[in-house]
């Protein structure tokens, strides 16, 4: 059942709001204020609906937030899925880091990362929300680990490389970028962090074994510019 079908009013009563648009507005509010900092009044005002309509279409605040997380994963952080399809582990890492920087510096959206910021100030009463955010971040790291395990089997990573450590390292950099991005770091500053992070990344073994062309050494590292 689609969201529009689930949010459809009873027969004979015209729908007074677009649930897809209302969900986008809820995403923006949660993104700006975090889960704990967002009230039902904030949500109804932004979504243009009353509380009964919110409950009928989306459930309570926590249920709405989980729907918002799904939308956030499919939209603003969709770069992760695309990056995982890159041909090498290095390209995967570059895709993830550049994707998060693009998102953080997009003027059309709030600064920072919803997955990170919403978990920073969760009280005991919102433990289930914090656990959900932790679970989603862990799932992203697990997907990276599996991709790097494949890269190691393919000979793309050196034998002593640890896929788990690389995935943890990459996600730590992503979270750090998110915090700095929320503090109004510039795109150039974030790209410099990305460049430093990639200097520590293992060489692409297949690229390193290609014959030199024109007398030039094959580059194991690359620079990044805005």
- Interval 66-105: pLDDT, tens: 999 999 988 888 899 999 999 999 999 999 999 999 999 9
User: What pLDDT, on the 0 to 100 scale, is given for residue 18?
Assistant: 86
Choose between 60 and 119: higher pLDDT.
60
Backbone angles phi, psi at 103, to 5 degrees: -70, -45
Percent of the chain with pLDDT over 70: 80
Confidence of residue 220 (pLDDT cuts 50, 70, 90): very low
Handedness of CA 204, 138, 36, 68 (dihedral sign): positive
Confidence of residue 221 (pLDDT cuts 50, 70, 90): very low
Least confidently predicted of 1-5, 22-26, 120-124, 183-187: 1-5
Q: Which two tokens stand for residue 81?
A: 């899925």
Of 14-28, 101-115, 133-147, give the range with the top mean pLDDT.
Answer: 133-147
Upper half-sphere CA count for residue 61 (Cβ side, 13 Å): 17
3-state helix, strand, coil in the chain (%, to 5): 65, 0, 35
Is 46's pLDDT higher than 60? Answer: yes
The answer to whether the beta carbons of residues 106 and 31 sit under 8 Å apart is no
Average pLDDT value for the chain: 83
pTM confidence score = 0.78
Tens of pLDDT along 52-71?
999 999 999 999 999 999 99
DSSP class of residue 124? G
* HEC profile of 180-224: HHHCCCCHHHHHHHHHHHHHCCCCCHHHHCCCCECCECCCCCCCC
The answer to whether the beta carbons of residues 99 and 82 sit under 8 Å apart is yes
> CA–CA separation, 125 vs 37, rounded Å?
13
Choose between 127 and 11: higher pLDDT.
127
Backbone angles phi, psi at 213, to 5 degrees: -115, 135
User: What pLDDT, on the 0 to 100 scale, is given for residue 210?
Assistant: 52
């Amino acid at each position: 059942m689609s969201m529009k079908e689930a949010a459809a009013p009873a027969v004979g009563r015209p729908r007074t709001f677009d649930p897809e648009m209302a969900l986008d507005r809820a995403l923006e509010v949660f993104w700006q204020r975090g889960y704990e900092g967002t009230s039902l009044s904030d949500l109804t005002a932004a979504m243009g609906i009353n509380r009964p309509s919110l409950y009928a279409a989306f459930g309570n605040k926590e249920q709405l937030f989980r729907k918002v997380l799904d939308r956030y994963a499919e939209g603003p952080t969709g770069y992760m899925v695309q990056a995982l399809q890159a041909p090498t582990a290095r390209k995967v890492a570059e895709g993830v880091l550049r994707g998060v920087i693009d998102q953080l510096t997009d003027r059309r959206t709030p600064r920072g990362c919803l997955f990170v910021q919403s978990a920073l100030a969760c009280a005991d009463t919102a433990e289930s929300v914090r656990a959900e955010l932790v679970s989603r971040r862990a799932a992203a790291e697990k997907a990276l680990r599996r991709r790097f395990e494949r890269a190691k089997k393919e000979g793309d990573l050196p034998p002593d490389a640890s896929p788990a450590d690389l995935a943890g390292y990459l996600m730590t950099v992503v979270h750090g970028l998110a915090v700095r991005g929320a503090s109004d770091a510039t795109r150039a500053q974030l790209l410099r962090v990305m460049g430093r992070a990639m200097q520590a990344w293992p060489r692409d073994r297949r690229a390193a074994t290609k014959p030199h062309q024109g007398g030039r050494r094959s580059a194991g590292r690359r620079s990044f510019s805005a």
